[in-house]
Structure 1
Amino acid sequence: MLYCRGMIDFLIIGAGLVGLAIARRLARSGCEVIIVDSGPTIGSETSSRNSEVIHAGIYYPTGSLKARLCVSGRRALYRYCTARNVPHRRCGKLLVATDDSQHGALQALADKVLANGVDDLQILSVAAAQSMEPALRCTAALLSPSTGIVDSHQLMLSYLGDAENAGAVLSLRTPVIRGMRKPDRWQVGLGGEEPDDIEVRHVINAAGLQASRMARALGLAPDRVPATHFAKGNYFTLRGGKPPFSHLVYPMPEPGGLGVHVTLDLGGRVRFGPDVEWVGKIDYDVDPDRAAKFYPAIRRYYPALSDGALVPAYCGIRPKLSRDPRADSDFLIHTEADHGAPGLVNLYGIESPGLTASLALAESVASGLGIAPGAEDAALFHAE
């Protein structure tokens, strides 16, 4: 096991859900941890701009990191949220076909889930689906009862609280400027109001949208760093009125995303999105004109949507490792074997289901470094 004493053991770059989950896991195992983020708050990018869905593990290629870590992470996350009183709810999700041509794709999803370790998916009749959601129009449906929603900000605060209680230190508005590998440690230059160079044994790059840029700043050769592409996802809410749905509703997936779907927050408010808009820079403005493409997509399963009912809400940006709509890009966790730099772990392409898989990603990183969990953290993954 790694001996975690003396010099600072770990610098975690990125205070989003995954960076905080990793910091929590390492600190609670006795390691000295510093978390830095260039933003003014924790989770100011991808982690605070998503659907807040706890995914079951349905969509991802069997055997992929996304599939494995989503399923194990989902189980651990529910246990964690219950133990820490993090607001969440197993609201369930309906996956729907809206015409007969989609039945084959829906059946393919149903066939995949058992191989992915999802054992509770239910085939519904159209009548049963519409009895659950009278506003829904569909020609076939599946129910995922283990899909849920969570307050992502409270989850981040809980991860951070656990990490700080175990001795971790958070420094916001602290960008990483450069890094250099020394014989037995990393020298990392930090910017901000009080620039400094620090020396650490290990660096964990969990910088999300900036992970590829950060890897290059740490001195990796360009051919050792995958490209990150930005997929902007816009969300719209309903203008007034009673929410039409009490479950999440997902149409068939589309290239680059899961289709414009219905999500709920813990207050029952309905959001539609995200779409897929490839962008070259980070921009969190929502163009109201994009609603023109939302209406026909939503009316395939919610025909009662009235003109003018959609109001711009917010958007998020997903770090994609490929723009090829045929590609199922996986999470990448690169270690010395991949990039040649000892003491460095890079996480690339941590998009959905990154929230669901956050505890499992942290466990994967820590176990890969030989750092055993405490009894409580081990129980998150092995409880009956």
Structure 2
Amino acid sequence: MMKLVSNSIRNYHYHYAEIGLRLGWLSRKKNHMSTTTVVTAGKGIEKERVDCVVIGAGVVGISIARHLSLKLGRNVLVIESGSTFGTVTSSRNSQVIHAGIYYPPNSLKACLCVRGRRLLYDYCKEHGIPHKQTGKLIIASRNEEVSKLNYLLHRGNENGVEGLKMMEGSEAMAMEPELQCLRALWSPTSGIIDSHSLMLSQMGEAESHGTMFCYNNTVVGAHLEGNQMCLHISETESLQNWDTKSQWPPDIVLLPKLVVNSSGLSSASLARRFSGINHGVIPQSYYARGCYFSLSNTVPPFKHLIYPIPEDGGLGVHVTLDLDGQVKFGPDVEWLNEIDDISSIQNKFDYTVCADRAKKFYPEIRKYYPSLKDGSLQPGYAGIRPKLSGPGEGFADFIIQGEEFHGIPGLVNLFGIESPGLTASMAIAEHVATKVPRI
């Protein structure tokens, strides 16, 4: 029997209300249902009518659910395959609030990052979310990198990033005595955030406006009946033996007015299992694994974020601080191959950090931190980035598709929501709301 689990979270503290309920529970939950009728489908599968379904309880999915319930008055059900919220990309990143420097002008990444940063800082101040506007130095370690730094300054100014300043190496090294560089670009609006506290706060707001979070359940596909999307939901635990070829019989079918596919790493894989969608509008998925190492046995050498010139697939092995001032380095870039759709949907990625990878970190870090001692890097954690461009293919923007792209009423797909997804999350929620059909 599938169980629906709700977490009620108030005042940034866990208050778990685990409710083991039968499938008929949804039909009695009138604030989430547009009808109380239970229809029996073929093979005894029940169907339930709901208002909105958000797939994925990461930082972006939570922000979307909050916006839909708080700003639009919609009744939202968030379906999450994991046992709690924010366990995948949302908890496996640098926790950085980006300024909006790196992205082409007028791209979604540029516009939503700049808008999202402002919204995020305002939200953090209003709700007491731990954060710090540390500022960031993007540094050139070699002469050939200086032109790239000038290019980033120009791009950041085009994107409306405030306070950018080019520095001589001596000025940057006066700010950070352990740093070595030729020149640096100073970004005062960059910072760090406790994303877990952010998610707790936004979940509390969403739940207080009627949103229900349902964990340990996976969307395994969908089909169309006329213009009605029918979402197939199964208990996550039952999917252990699911192969890559068969259609998995769902435990329940939901009939929502609105579906937001915000499932992160599995968004494209899941969309390909929506019967009736034009597969030509679904982008190719690429996955880049990145490892972090923490600095041990030393006083933290830096007070600001330190970033090298961006590299293929990422922003380089950079210095990130946590809110206690501890230093970590990463991520690197390791392109993953042969990830099938089912493995993606079930989050069957390897997050192990091999200690031997530190051998590649030391020379990269010593380009700007020459005093780094042997043996001072300890394995931290790893994350996977859902990318829309492969090795050497350059920039790929966020893709946020409504009916105008795929022709399915009430479906919004989010693809390639990697960095700066955390920074842009509240702006992404605003953007998704513009694609939501009015009721």
Taking structure 2 as the reference length, the TM-score comes to: 0.82
**Greater shift in the superposed pair: 75-84 or 275-284:** 275-284
The residue correspondences of 1:71-90 to structure 2 (distance < 5 A) are 71-90=114-133
Structure 1 residue corresponding to 2:208, chosen from 136, 161, 165: 165
Letter in 2 for 1:147: S
Q: Secondary structure at the match of 1:20?
A: helix
Shift of 1:371: 6.0
Cα shift readout 1:228-262 (whole Å, capped 9, x = no counterpart):
11100100011221001010000100111101000
CA RMSD in angstroms comes to 1.6
Structure 1 residue 150 corresponds to structure 2 residue 206: no
User: Paired residue for 1:250?
Assistant: 307
Structure 2 residue corresponding to 1:17, chosen from 53, 59, 71: 59
User: Paired residue for 2:270?
Assistant: 214
The residue correspondences of 1:138-287 to structure 2 (distance < 5 A) are 138-192=181-235, 195-219=251-275, 220-280=277-337, 281=339, 282-287=349-354
Cα shift readout 1:48-103 (whole Å, capped 9, x = no counterpart):
00000000000011111000000000000000111111110001101100011111
Q: Secondary structure at the match of 2:217?
A: coil
Higher RCO (CA 8 Å, separation ≥ 6 residues):
1
User: Which whole-Å CA distance do the structure 2 matches of 1:319 and 1:65 have between them?
Assistant: 16
Shift of 1:128: 1.7
Cα shift readout 1:158-179 (whole Å, capped 9, x = no counterpart):
1111110110000001101221
User: Which whole-Å CA distance do the structure 2 matches of 1:319 and 1:363 have between them?
Assistant: 21
Letter in 1 for 2:304: H
Q: Secondary structure at the match of 1:204?
A: strand
User: Paired residue for 1:368?
Assistant: 435
Cα shift readout 1:270-324 (whole Å, capped 9, x = no counterpart):
0100000011341100111111111110000000001111111001000001114
User: Paired residue for 2:371?
Assistant: 304
Q: Secondary structure at the match of 1:40?
A: coil
User: Which whole-Å CA distance do the structure 2 matches of 1:349 and 1:326 have between them?
Assistant: 14
Matched residues, number? 369
- Summarize the Cα distance change of 1:371–1:244 in structure 2 as closer, same or farther, 3 Å threshold: farther
Structure 1 residue corresponding to 2:383, chosen from 316, 319, 336: 316
User: Which whole-Å CA distance do the structure 2 matches of 1:41 and 1:369 have between them?
Assistant: 26
Contact 2:410-2:436 within 8 A present in 1 as well:
no
Letter in 1 for 2:336: V
User: Which whole-Å CA distance do the structure 1 matches of 2:155 and 2:382 have between them?
Assistant: 30
Structure 1 residue 39 corresponds to structure 2 residue 95: no
Shift of 1:326: 3.9
Q: Which runs of 5+ in 1 are unaligned?
A: 373-384
Query: Percent of aligned pairs with the same residue?
Result: 49
Contact 1:47-1:152 within 8 A present in 2 as well:
yes
User: Paired residue for 2:96?
Assistant: 53
Letter in 2 for 1:232: R
Letter in 2 for 1:245: F
Taking structure 1 as the reference length, the TM-score comes to: 0.93
Contact 2:162-2:189 within 8 A present in 1 as well:
no
Q: Secondary structure at the match of 2:320?
A: strand
Contact 1:184-1:201 within 8 A present in 2 as well:
no
Cα shift readout 1:209-245 (whole Å, capped 9, x = no counterpart):
0001110222224323112111001000112210010
Letter in 2 for 1:202: L
User: Which whole-Å CA distance do the structure 1 matches of 2:402 and 2:430 have between them?
Assistant: 15
User: Paired residue for 1:26?
Assistant: 68
Letter in 2 for 1:299: R
Letter in 1 for 2:363: P
User: Which whole-Å CA distance do the structure 2 matches of 1:212 and 1:227 have between them?
Assistant: 7
User: Which whole-Å CA distance do the structure 1 matches of 2:389 and 2:165 have between them?
Assistant: 32
Q: Which has the larger radius of gyration?
A: 2
Contact 1:231-1:278 within 8 A present in 2 as well:
yes
Letter in 2 for 1:349: G
Structure 1 residue 103 corresponds to structure 2 residue 141: no
Letter in 1 for 2:208: N
Q: Which runs of 5+ in 2 are unaligned?
A: 1-31, 35-48, 239-250, 340-348
User: Which whole-Å CA distance do the structure 2 matches of 1:325 and 1:82 have between them?
Assistant: 39
User: Paired residue for 1:70?
Assistant: 113
Cα shift readout 1:103-151 (whole Å, capped 9, x = no counterpart):
1000000111111111211122222211110000000011111000000
Shift of 1:184: 4.5
Q: Secondary structure at the match of 1:356?
A: helix
Letter in 1 for 2:370: P
